[in-house]
């Protein structure tokens, strides 16, 4: 089945700086890669996603890149603000006939702290 | 917006009790999921269901069972709660043919 690894586990950045979180996946059949943000006391919320036929996607201050050959994808947050402080999870969705089909596998999460 | 509602935010149960965690979604989604969230381990899939009365084991089903008698409701059952089941439990739903998951706010369960 799919295995997703996420680094770093914690990330402290100064307000205004950029933050980068990296994930790798094992199942080459995975074709959908969402990123979730979880604030304290809340469930994960989808912030951006990318499909395997796209190399990069951007939405305002956040962007995601995907390297299918290397099986890794990254989240980039620019001009960080205190409200970006949260736990971020990457995930991969299996496809086709693998046993990962239809099931999101998550990374371990990254605690991002943005200091003013 | 799709809403996924978990009936309890916090629960405290005793070892050996039978525990029911309830999840309801209001958008007629076919697929529903139960994850548990532990620090350093991310979200791990316990069980999922792709239709009424259908269920599939996830990665960590031991000690759990599920029930889906109605499309909108997916229940997670701890047959005999143990302290190692103390965790945050997250329910999610997804419509057929879509990749997007919607999560509930979670139930923090403490087993003493």
Q: Which of the 8 DSSP states describes residue A69? A: T
B29 touches chain A (CB under 8 A): no
Q: What is the pLDDT at residue A95?
A: 62
Does residue A100 surpass a pLDDT of 90? no
Is B29 in contact with B2 (CB distance < 8 Å)? yes
**Minimum distance, in Å, between the CA of residue A17 and any CA atom of chain B:** 25
A83-111 average pLDDT score: 81
User: In the Cβ-directed half-sphere of B67, how many Cα atoms lie within 13 Å?
Assistant: 9
pLDDT band at A29 (very low <50, low <70, confident <90, very high): confident
Looking at per-residue pLDDT, the higher value among A1 and A101 belongs to A1
d(CA B16, CA B78): 9
Q: What is the pLDDT at residue B73?
A: 97
Backbone angles phi, psi at A84, to 5 degrees: -80, -10
**Is residue A16 classed exposed, middle or buried when 0-12, 13-18 and 19+ CB atoms within 10 A define those classes?**
exposed
| CA closest to B95 among chain A residues | A102
B57-82 average pLDDT score: 96
Q: What is the pLDDT at residue A101?
A: 55
B21-30 average pLDDT score: 93
Looking at per-residue pLDDT, the higher value among B100 and A83 belongs to A83
A103 touches chain B (CB under 8 A): yes
A44 touches chain B (CB under 8 A): yes
Q: What is the pLDDT at residue A98?
A: 45
Measured between beta carbons, the chain B residues lying within 8 angstroms of A9 are: 40
Mean pLDDT of chain A: 91
d(CA B93, CA B104): 9
B100 touches chain A (CB under 8 A): yes
**B13: helix, strand or coil:** strand
Mean pLDDT of chain B: 93
A50-71 average pLDDT score: 94
Is B83 in contact with B17 (CB distance < 8 Å)? no
B43·A44 Cβ contact <8 A? yes
List of residues 6+ apart from A111 with CB closer than 8 A: A9, A10, A11, A87
**Minimum distance, in Å, between the CA of residue B89 and any CA atom of chain A:** 10
pLDDT digits (tens, 9 = 90+) for B4-13: 999 899 999 9
Q: What is the pLDDT at residue B100?
A: 81
Closest by Cβ to A93, choosing from B4, B42, B99 = B99
The bridge status of strand B10-13 relative to strand B107-111 is parallel
d(CA A56, CA A66): 6
Measured between beta carbons, the chain B residues lying within 8 angstroms of A33 are: none
């Amino acid at each position: 089945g799919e295995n997703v690894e996420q680094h770093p586990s914690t990330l402290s950045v100064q307000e205004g700086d950029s933050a980068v979180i990296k994930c790798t996946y094992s199942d080459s059949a995975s074709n959908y890669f969402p990123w979730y943000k979880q604030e304290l006391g809340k469930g994960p919320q989808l912030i951006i996603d990318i499909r395997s036929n796209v190399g990069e996607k951007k939405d305002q201050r956040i962007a995601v890149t995907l390297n299918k050959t290397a099986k890794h994808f990254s989240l980039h947050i620019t001009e960080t603000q205190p409200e970006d402080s949260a736990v971020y999870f990457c995930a991969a969705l299996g496809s086709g006939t693998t046993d990962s089909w239809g099931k999101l596998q998550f990374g371990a999460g990254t605690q991002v702290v943005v200091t003013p | 917006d799709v809403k996924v509602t978990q009936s309890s935010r916090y629960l405290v149960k005793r070892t050996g009790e039978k525990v029911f965690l309830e999840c309801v979604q209001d958008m007629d989604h076919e697929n529903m999921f139960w994850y548990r969230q532990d620090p350093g381990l991310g979200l791990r899939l316990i069980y999922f269901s792709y239709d009424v009365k259908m269920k599939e084991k996830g990665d960590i089903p031991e000690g759990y069972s599920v029930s889906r008698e109605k499309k909108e409701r997916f229940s997670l059952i701890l047959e005999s709660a143990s302290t190692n089941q103390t965790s945050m439990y997250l329910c999610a739903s997804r419509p057929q043919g879509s990749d997007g998951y919607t999560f509930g706010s979670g139930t923090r369960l403490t087993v003493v």
